[in-house]
Amino acid sequence: MIGFISYLVNGISLGSVYAIIALGYTMVYGIAKMLNFAHGDVIMIGAFVVFSTVSGMGLPPVIGILISVVVCTVLGMLIERIAYKPLRHASKLAVLITAIGVSYFLQNVALLIYGANTKSFTSVVTMEPIRLADGALVISGETIVTVIACIIIMIGLSAFIKYSKSGRAMLAVSEDSGAAQLMGVNVNSTIALTFAIGSALAAIAGVLLCSSYPSLTPYTGSMPGIKAFVAAVFGGIGSIPGAFIGGILLGVIEILGRAYISSQLSDAIVFAVLIVVLLVKPTGILGKQIQEKV
């Protein structure tokens, strides 16, 4: 029994990391309606910035995270301006391929700057792990901080979208960008703002990802990025609480699958569950069902 609870805790710990990445994914998808494959690589850049400032220059972690948030926000807006904005009215696929190009670009820039060697990331969380049941059950400080950060961001984002003017503009753009424009919403600046917020979230996600799993390479972001994307779809892409639930569930399924079924097939299990969920509920757990009209 204690074994099961322990796996569950590990699953939540992994899931919280997926969830925090998925929040950024789902936010950008919901508003801009594009799969930003480069999101995972913005996360990697965010982590590298913290690594350089905290471990390299010896700045306090809080300052490092702030710098990283600023760098990623600017980077996100730049990417949007240069690569995505010219393609606003192009086919979805063209945008997808561009996003993949941006992803390759960021990976290779990081490779040129930092080299291929693995960097060990010093956790920014100083909280001691909680040990229960004579050390059989360990909840790490990183897990607690990540889950709390997820919940705060989730509530904050929901409130922002619901109550602030630019938040409601985002909602309007996501519902119908043409109509929103007619009502005087500046679609371009709204989408730019979405990317800014999404990338700022990516910076925080990068820090928490690498605090939990302290190895940093130019390719650190790509697989968690894909998994988080799956998590976002799982929960219903575009839905903010859905990303949180999807992330946590994905983490728990992955860990339990690995523990009780097969450690070699854990990815296959995760994807199989995703397929089953989507077949039963084609827009994810909390996704909105849109009726198709002629």
Q: Where in 186-225 is the site for other proteins (CB under 8 A)?
A: 213-215, 217, 219, 223-224
Least separation in angstroms between residue 54's CB and other proteins is 10
Place of tokens 């990338």: 199
Choice between 189 and 215, CB closer to other proteins:
215
Q: Does 39 bind other proteins (CB under 8 A)?
A: no
Residues 138-157 contacting other proteins, CB under 8 A: 138, 140
Choice between 6 and 194, CB closer to other proteins:
6
Residue 145 · residue 128 · CB < 8 Å: no
**138 φ, ψ to 5°?**
-120, 125
Q: Which is nearest to 272 in space by CA: 234, 221, 232?
A: 234
Say how far apart CA 28 and CA 247 lie, in whole Å. Answer: 16
Choice between 169 and 204, CB closer to other proteins:
204
Which part of the chain contacts other proteins (CB under 8 A), choosing from 152-160, 162-170, 180-188, 280-288? 280-288
Q: Does 1 bind other proteins (CB under 8 A)?
A: no
Residues 79-118 contacting other proteins, CB under 8 A: 82-83, 86-87, 89-94, 96-98, 100-102, 104-105, 107-109, 111-112, 115-118
Residues 235-254 contacting other proteins, CB under 8 A: 237, 254
CA distances in angstroms from 20 to 2, 85, 149, 179, 212, listed in the order given? 27, 26, 8, 31, 12
CA distances in angstroms from 162 to 22, 157, 166, 167, 178, listed in the order given? 20, 8, 9, 6, 20
Residue 201 · residue 27 · CB < 8 Å: yes
Least separation in angstroms between residue 274's CB and other proteins is 5
Say how far apart CA 35 and CA 213 lie, in whole Å. Answer: 25
Which part of the chain contacts other proteins (CB under 8 A), choosing from 6-14, 154-162, 170-178, 180-188? 6-14
